[in-house]
């Protein structure tokens, strides 16, 4: 059981500060790989909670491998996203304020395979074709839109 799950057992659905580590993956054509999430039915990039004493880059690599089957090579820090727009209530009622440390990666290996428990589909999107905000997982919108603007 992970750290957040242990805390959730104690506090229930009360708001919790969560540190996330995420990866925006791009291919040689400049497309971004997004996942269709099983929990909320929305699109987003790959990431999850940092465990106690875990390096954020290691957490981002772990989450990318678990969710997509891809092994990250070189990654670069894109940004740290926090604030009111990062408050989120998960479909199960858990409330969180997320601090998301987001990396960029265009150096990876492996075969793409969605993790069935968390991901229903993986798909490449050109920057102009990224879904509308109402189709994106809310905590992913600030970083994804900033990345999208940087591609113009």
Identify the pLDDT of residue 93: 97
For residue 124, pLDDT beyond 90: yes
Identify the pLDDT of residue 152: 86
Average pLDDT of the chain, as a whole number: 97
- The pLDDT-based confidence of 151 (bands split at 50, 70, 90) is very high
In the chain, the percentage of residues whose pLDDT exceeds 70 is 100
Identify the pLDDT of residue 43: 98
Bridge partner residues of 87 (DSSP): 97
Identify the pLDDT of residue 89: 97
Q: Rounded CA gap, 30 and 125, in Å?
A: 9
Give the CATH number for residue 132.
Answer: 3.90.79.10
How many domains does one find in the chain? 1
For residue 80, pLDDT beyond 90: yes
- The pLDDT-based confidence of 61 (bands split at 50, 70, 90) is very high
Report the candidate in 50, 41, 58, 49 with the shortest Cα–Cα distance to residue 118: 41
For residue 71, pLDDT beyond 80: yes
Q: What average pLDDT does range 92-101 have in this prediction?
A: 98
Give burial (CB, 10 Å; 0-12/13-18/19+) of 40.
Answer: middle
Stated pTM of the model: 0.96
Which tokens is 89 given? 């209530």
Structural domain boundaries, residue 146:
3-150
Identify the pLDDT of residue 138: 97
For residue 1, pLDDT beyond 80: no
């Amino acid at each position: 059981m992970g750290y957040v799950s242990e805390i959730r057992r104690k506090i229930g659905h009360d708001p919790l500060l969560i540190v996330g580590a995420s990866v925006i993956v791009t291919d040689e054509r400049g497309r971004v790989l997004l996942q269709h999430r099983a929990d909320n039915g929305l699109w987003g990039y790959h990431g999850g909670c940092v465990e106690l004493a875990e390096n954020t880059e290691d957490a981002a690599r772990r989450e990318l491998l678990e969710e997509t089957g891809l092994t990250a090579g070189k990654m670069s820090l894109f940004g740290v996203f926090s604030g009111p727009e990062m408050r989120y209530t998960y479909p199960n009622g858990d409330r969180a304020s997320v601090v998301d440390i987001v990396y960029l990666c265009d150096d990876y290996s492996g075969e793409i395979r969605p993790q069935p428990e968390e991901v229903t589909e993986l798909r490449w999107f050109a920057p102009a074709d990224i879904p509308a905000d109402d189709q994106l997982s809310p905590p992913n919108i600030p970083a994804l839109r900033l990345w999208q603007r940087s591609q113009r």
